[in-house]
Structures are given as structure tokens and as C-alpha cells.
Structure 1
């Protein structure tokens, strides 16, 4: 199967490598020629790509990648509100080019932050309730892709990604003004995320929206304090909570059951 991974970063690159090991013909995009060429050493067909795709001359070198059997859109957004609209236009231009080129299926990597306004347990069947510009942009992209691709689209909403060399506690260590200490964490290990998406690409599930999240939900205070101790980092300090938590808890049970996948990293208190 020909699979295109659009965005070979911290998630996209190990995903592309895993798909190559499974025997797929894998295209991977990077923003410049040097980084794209470096993918070839991993068995991945590196493709330099700058978004948005607006000119015919841009599309010609991308023809084989754009006509892949499956395209995974894993493009990171910018950090400010101006970038959010540009991010939407970038993804839409890629989707349009893939649609016109005969791509058969799209997997869009989204985020569980689209539920930030919801409280309690959240399943794949619940309506979104975005609160931030980033979450609003993701919902806007999801809706546009859904209108274009119909049942050829699968949306995968990820909780916070962690892995051996990436952990959010490193950004919280030593801070003394943190809010939401009683809120549950919603996280997923990179290894489980990659394995679940590889499984998804191998066969099409009936679900149009999937969640990738661990069923491990201690409070932010408990989790990040323990992780700071494990990693020998300054302890984060949370402000006193006024009430018990009613924040969201992402439930991925239906996704994991449909994929027939069992999480390898259930206890995320472990640093690896």
C-alpha cells in the first residue's frame, strides 16, 4: 500500500518508519529538500513540500505522493491566531490537491482539546466544545475535510503525547502558579499512538472519529509532582483548588476495542 505521511516530525517520523517496516511504500514530507532527502536513509521516500499548494508547478513533483492510497495529515499549526487561519488554508490546499489526484483515504490527526468545554467522561460520540483558537481551527479543518471526503475520512483525536525524550512536566517544573491541579490528565504514549495508527491504516474501522488516550487519569497535581521527582526536576506548585474537578476525561475504550489494540503503556507514572 502507498501511504503518505504529511508532516514527519516527532510523531510522523516514527509512524513513517513503522509503516515502512510493515512493508508499505511510504512517502514522507518535510519543509525543505535537505530534511526530505534525509528521510531516504530510513527507507522513506522524502518529499519536500511547502504549504499552501497553490500552483500547478508545485503539484507536479508531488503527484505520486498526492495519489497515495492513504494520506495521514499531521501538520502542526502555528502558535498565534494569525497562523491559525493560515494553518486552515494550508491543510485545505493539501486536501484539495490529494482529492484531485485520486487519493483514496485521509486520516487527519486532530486533538482532544476540541472537547475543552466539556466536563466528565468524553467518548468518541460526544459533540465538540472548543474553547481556544487552536481547538476552533481543528474543528474547522475537521468539518471541511468531512464535507469533502465523507466516509473516506477518519479523524484521530490525540490526547497529550509523551515519550522518552518528551514530557510536559519539563515545561511545568519549578513553576508556582499552576492552575487545575485537581483536573485529570489525558495523555498517550508515543509508542501506543504509532502502533494504533499503523493498525488503523491496515484496515478501515467503521468509526469516523477515534480517540487515542490512555485510561490512566490521575490528577495533574499528583502526576506532575511524581514525574518531577522521577526526573529530578524542581517540583511544580499548583494553586489551591476551589472545588472538586469536573474537567474532561477522555475515554478511548471504543476506539481501542474497534482496533483490537491493547495499550503497551498503561502506567504513565513510569518515566519511559
Structure 2
């Protein structure tokens, strides 16, 4: 069993930490909230109050990494849609981590990224597709990926998640009752929280490093079909979509995960 540090014990990081502990791993977990330290501790996680800014990192970041072989970076960019080229806040945060990681016991990094690094101008997307991000967060995620991948002091696997859903998180709740929604016939590219955790477990267990995975479930109904169905299932006001057809046909393949990791997505949870 391994000692693992999880930077960001939020919506995904906390249940992931709990699952890894169940499997016998030791987990250091970080949070930016003092109130959450007790929650981490009660879950069997060694808690650390860590903040990562564009110009600084918490002094205890060294202790957070100490003794761990694997670092999972799961901190969202939280950027505005448009930012100036000089305002590379998220990229600077990742750059600030590097000196600490290089001096630590960390040998492997799993970086949680997003399929937003791909543009909308592709129909069928695999890990071989050249990224072409259109959003500011996608652009900075891609730069952060490269910083980690190009560092020879550790091995990095990039995990690009599709749209995240779970029992307490589903985009239909924000779409319910809205009108004239765009891209009715664009395919959905989603992944459930359970599968996020399952894929990460598989990467760690099978030692699949220095690679890239697109983590998207292998079903792609249209936005109109899917969100209308989910609204009915949850007794929500049906979303109303525009009658105009979409130019977006982006379908992201998760076949590499199925083939390389021999992982089966849990479609029943979607």
C-alpha cells in the first residue's frame, strides 16, 4: 500500500480519499477551510490546511508532501471566461508547486484536468486529438498539463474528465425551466463521481503513469434527449431547447480507459 497526498479534498477529493483509505492506503489531504480539518480527520485522512496562490504556497506544503509517493492534484482553475494573457493565475499556482515537489518524496503525479482542453471543431475526440482550448480555464489547464508532463523529476498522468455528475451534483438542476437553450443536438460527454474514483483507483493500482486519459462514459445522447429525460425523472420543469441545430458534434471517447485499464463505466448511475 502507498502513501498518497491529495491536493484538494473537495467534491471529488474527499470521497476519493475515503475510498483509498478503505483499500489500505495512507492519505494526506488538503483543504483551504479550517472548519473542514475535523471532517478530514474523522474520515481517517491526515489533514493539512493548504493554500496555493499565484505568488505563494503554504509553508506546511512540504509537510503535506512528506513521505508520499503519489500526489493527486485536484484544484479547479476557477477562472473567468475571459482573462488577459498575462493573468495566468492557475498556471502560476502549478509552477509554484514544482520546487516543493522536486524536493519531496513524490515520484508520481495524477493531474485532474478537463476535456475543455479540446475545441468544439472536432467530431470524434481521442487522446490523440490535438488540444485546442477555447475557454480561459481550458487554456490554463493545458499549460499546467505541459508543465507537469515536461518535468523529468516525476512521472505524470493527465486525467481529463468530462462533465461531472453525482447524486448531489447534476447540471439538469440548473437547466430545469430554462428556455431557448443552445445546442440541442450536441452530444453529452459526462462522467459520474463513482467512475471518477474508480478510474483513479485503476490508474494507481495498475501503475499507469506518463500517459493521458479522457475520462468520459461511453454514452452520448443529445443534450435535449438527455436533459429532458433527467428533468422528467426528477420531477423538474422541463428545459426548453432552441430549434436551431448545433454545429457542435464533439463526442469524446473513453475507449482508452476501457482498453488500457480494463475499466467498465457504471452507466446505471447516470
> Equivalent residues in 2 for 1:87-126 (5 A)?
87-126=90-129
Alpha-carbon spacing, 1:172–1:134, altered in 2? closer, same or farther (3 Å)? same
Contact 1:27 1:47 in 2 (8 A): yes
Structure 2 distance, partners of 1:242, 1:167, is: 24
> Equivalent residues in 2 for 1:67-82 (5 A)?
67=66, 68-80=68-80, 81=82
Contact 2:108 2:209 in 1 (8 A): no
Structure 2 distance, partners of 1:160, 1:182, is: 17
TM value normalised by structure 2: 0.91
Please point out which of 174, 179, 186 is paired with 1:176. Answer: 179
Alpha-carbon spacing, 1:102–1:118, altered in 2? closer, same or farther (3 Å)? farther
Instruction: Give structure 1 regions of 4+ aligned residues with deviation exceeding 4 angstroms.
Output: 53-56, 81-84
Unmatched runs of 5 consecutive residues or more in structure 2: none
Contact 1:114 1:130 in 2 (8 A): yes
**CA RMSD, Structure 1 to Structure 2 (Å):** 2.1
Structure 2 distance, partners of 1:215, 1:120, is: 15
- Show CA shifts across 1:11-51 (max 9, x none): 11111110010100101100033312320100011110011
Contact 2:31 2:37 in 1 (8 A): yes
Are 1:66 and 2:65 counterparts? yes
Larger helix percent = 1
Contact 2:54 2:92 in 1 (8 A): no
Are 1:153 and 2:152 counterparts? no
The count of aligned residue pairs is 265
Are 1:167 and 2:195 counterparts? no
Q: Which residue of 2 aligns with 1:258?
A: 260
Q: Greater shift after overlay, 77-86 or 203-212?
A: 77-86
Contact 1:52 1:94 in 2 (8 A): no
